[in-house]
Structure 1
Amino acid sequence: MYQKKLYNYNFPKNVLLILDRLNKNGEGFLVGGCVRDILSNIEPEDFDFVTNIDYKNLLNIFKDFKVKEIGATFGIIQVTIENESYEIAKYRIDSKQSDGRRPCSVVYTNDILEDLKRRDFTINGMAFNFKRGLIDPFNAVEDIENHKLKFIGNANERIKEDGLRILRAFRFQATKNFDIEKKDLDEIYKNRDMLNKISHERINQEFSKILLGNFKKTFYDMKESAILEKIIPEIKDTYDYDQNSKYHKYNLFEHIIKVMENVPTNLELRYAALFHDLGKPSSKILGTDGYNHYYNHEVISAEIAEKRLKDLKFSRKFIEEIKNLCLEHMRFNGSKSEKTIKKIISKYGENFCEKLIDLSIADNAAKADNIKDEDGKKILLENFEKIISKSKVPNINTLAIKGEDLINLGYSGKEIGKLKNSLLDLILNDILENERNILLEAVKNNKIKI
């Protein structure tokens, strides 16, 4: 059945062209992810090739196309046909890695089986061409049928060769619906310090893909393997943390997971949900009512988010967005009025406000059953839609009165900034209209407090 699925698959014409040229001049296979995805009834994102043809001959075989030498050391070229790029690599055997990421040297081979042995997981250790059919030396077809993710050979050795395979395993679990075997999770736990050898940028890439997938079971497995705290140390304090609050029925880690599940599949919102309550353990105060209180936990959470996202090499813009979502995540708990929404839009913009509403609703739905607020959710969404359908909400930069106007009225320095903020607040509270003459009159008549 699986052989037939590959033979009957409608491969792109350029993929067939490359396969044909490789096998007319030697031997070539499609390998790895594209074979796995086709057998899993998933459309491949890209097609990679391996061959026994040496590097120089490869360059000559594809000389009528745009060819880029992207890895002479590893025998890899990139062929571009009709604006689509494909990688072709020489069969190889990697030597031991000295840094837990890159092989010390490469030994070429003419045996496809030797090339497949060096790969990470059984489901990625398959190859296919039309002459020899499916090459599956590690029973990957069975693992695909059973949704099992297994390391090729010895898990300990595979992880030590490349520490990134730890996160790749969890990424496949979250995005491809594969289960990691208990014995392999144990090896991940034993080798967790291998992540210290991996660049922050690569951790960012893999972890972000996990967050955008079906991450719940993956997060619990990452928790049990002590991997989550390798990426975000503060999350360890949330494990089994009793919030001791009349507003929460779940422990803190469970609450965070539920908020992450409740927000839309959006990277900013998933990260904001992950960080939004990490400041709770360090802000805990036991009240006279017998319950814990977490004053200013949102500030601490925002600081944690900023630090850890910097570590992961996110952009300044991305970090600011997550930081501010954490800071403001309780803003709509006290008020869902149009005035509150206008102030958020004025300060951060419509897009941010929409995300904050999503986060607020998700947070509220992940507390206790007796405080779910469906009416409040409806009011919040209706007021937001009402505001953005009317007109643009003014901000400090769109005031009808300018700094020059205030200078002409005798104000200077910090007074100007304070005046503009006061005027904006009055506009957002529907006390004044954002019209130049009205604002000038208010200032002239000393109606503005600074």
Structure 2
Amino acid sequence: MTINLPKNVEKIIEMLEESGFEGFAVGGCVRDSLLQKTPTDWDITTNALPSEMKKIFKKTFDTGIAHGTITVLMDSVGYELTTYRIDGNYSDGRHPDNVFFSKNLSEDLCRRDFTINAMAYSHKRGIVDLYSGREDLERGIIRAVGDAKKRFDEDALRMLRAVRFSAQLGFEIEKDTFVAITEKASLLSKVSKERIFVELNKTLSGDFAHNIKFIYSSGLYKYIGKEFAGIKEEFYNFYPRKLGNKKHMYWTVFLKNIEDINSVKKILSELKSDNATKINTDLLIKELRLPLPKNVEDIRWSLHRLGYELFEDYLKICKTDKDNENILKDIYEIEDGYKKIREKNHAFEISMLDITGRDLMYMGIQKGPEIGEILEYLLKKVIKSPKLNNKNSLMALVKEKFLRKG
């Protein structure tokens, strides 16, 4: 079978071969090509040492030189090239203590995590598949290369990666591999929360995200974090949704029924989540617990709490929630009301008022906390009645409420 390599990848492999070395596209790019998917990255492996690669290619960067990896720049795009290697002991359960360079492709492939990721390809040799990766792709299974327990002893994150690939590809985890995960699950506690968070994001957003259930059935959930371990089994009855690439959307759907709303930030903080994901998830879940907006004023209050972008995320989640199928008509009416608010530029935050703190001081209000209190008062009036958002009306309200004695 022939894989259609990008022009630059083909050129890099040809240049390696012309210099007397081997070169192969390897790993996920081969897997995705065989699945008729477009690879996001193209990794290349070779028997050339980093010093030898640097003599072949004009523009290179030392991106992981200790592990035999350099980046070759072609047409302003970087391509990672790595020397065949044999990994030493993994004393920390995550990274090899040392690596040894090899001249043998088979020694490089045997250290990889799963059979579907342990294939290499070049036009010269075709597909090199020593562990029946193509057969496992056809069967739709995730199977460890060689001894699964050894693979997970080497790198505990591989257990979570097995679940992630299952959620992305819709594959089952092969029986012996799954048994090894259940036996080695406690090793996941050695892995950094940041790396775990990345894998969970990819799992939740997968086309077959219902396979997140394997995190629970394998026992991995106990070792992700103390707060995460408290998530109940029913949360893993999760169904896939097309919600774009915003992490907070998937975390909102996953955690929206949590009993203690304070647990949302605790779970995401424990996983070293970025602040935006943590804050936005918390805001969306709080909004989802409120009754649906019944009129345009309610929509403006919702916008006050969320802003334009998060409100649109809120609507998208509502429309894709199976629990809301019987009120879709209401959600579409809310969407229509929202569009009218945007068209008419109704104010829902202080910065949108047609009056400023400077205007209030010009009217005689002393600089200080009262300025903010008056602006909040005016905003409430405008959210209730948008037509009041003009300077004359707002100044009249200030005079009536705050300046009558003067």
Normalising by structure 1, what TM-score?
0.82
User: In 2 relative to 1, CA 231–337 (structure 1 residues): closer, same or farther, beyond 3 Å?
Assistant: farther
Residue aligning to 2:128: 135
- 2: CA distance between counterparts of 1:448 and 1:268? 45
User: In 2 relative to 1, CA 117–434 (structure 1 residues): closer, same or farther, beyond 3 Å?
Assistant: same
Q: How does 1:210-249 map to 2 (within 5 A)?
A: 210-231=203-224, 233-234=226-227, 237=230, 239=232
Residue aligning to 1:344: 302
Q: How does 1:377-388 map to 2 (within 5 A)?
A: 377-388=331-342
User: In 2 relative to 1, CA 384–332 (structure 1 residues): closer, same or farther, beyond 3 Å?
Assistant: farther
1:48 to 43, 68, 76: 43
* 1:71-108 deviation per Cα after TM superposition (whole angstroms, max 9, x unaligned): 22112211111112111111111011011111111112
State the AA in 2 paired with 1:308: I
Secondary structure of 2:127's counterpart equals strand
User: In 2 relative to 1, CA 142–390 (structure 1 residues): closer, same or farther, beyond 3 Å?
Assistant: same
Residue aligning to 2:371: 416
2:288 to 310, 329, 340: 329
Residue aligning to 2:26: 31
Q: How does 1:73-152 map to 2 (within 5 A)?
A: 73-152=66-145
- 1: CA distance between counterparts of 2:70 and 2:244? 39
* 1:369-403 deviation per Cα after TM superposition (whole angstroms, max 9, x unaligned): 8xx32332232222122222222434112322222
- 1: CA distance between counterparts of 2:111 and 2:244? 38
- 2: CA distance between counterparts of 1:171 and 1:340? 39
Gaps of 5+ in 2: none
1:397 to 333, 336, 351: 351
User: In 2 relative to 1, CA 73–235 (structure 1 residues): closer, same or farther, beyond 3 Å?
Assistant: closer
8 Å contact 2:346–2:386 — kept in the other structure?
Answer: no
- 1: CA distance between counterparts of 2:53 and 2:150? 32
* 1:222-271 deviation per Cα after TM superposition (whole angstroms, max 9, x unaligned): 1101223433655655535xxxxxxxxxx6654xx25x648666422111
8 Å contact 1:423–1:439 — kept in the other structure?
Answer: yes
Secondary structure of 2:4's counterpart equals coil
Gaps of 5+ in 1: 241-250, 281-299
Question: How far did 1:112 drift?
Answer: 0.9
User: In 2 relative to 1, CA 236–362 (structure 1 residues): closer, same or farther, beyond 3 Å?
Assistant: farther
Secondary structure of 1:78's counterpart equals strand
- 2: CA distance between counterparts of 1:327 and 1:362? 18
- 2: CA distance between counterparts of 1:332 and 1:389? 24
1:22 and 2:16 are equivalent in the alignment? yes
Residue aligning to 1:304: 263
RMSD: 2.5
Secondary structure of 2:206's counterpart equals coil
- 1: CA distance between counterparts of 2:250 and 2:190? 26
User: In 2 relative to 1, CA 329–262 (structure 1 residues): closer, same or farther, beyond 3 Å?
Assistant: farther
User: In 2 relative to 1, CA 262–67 (structure 1 residues): closer, same or farther, beyond 3 Å?
Assistant: closer
8 Å contact 1:422–1:448 — kept in the other structure?
Answer: no
- 2: CA distance between counterparts of 1:56 and 1:373? 64
Greater alpha carbon shift after TM alignment, 436-445 vs 309-318: 309-318
- 2: CA distance between counterparts of 1:431 and 1:388? 12
State the AA in 1 paired with 2:294: K
User: In 2 relative to 1, CA 230–390 (structure 1 residues): closer, same or farther, beyond 3 Å?
Assistant: farther
Residue aligning to 1:288: none
State the AA in 2 paired with 1:154: D
* 1:265-304 deviation per Cα after TM superposition (whole angstroms, max 9, x unaligned): 64221111122221x2xxxxxxxxxxxxxxxxxxx32x22
Paired positions, count: 402
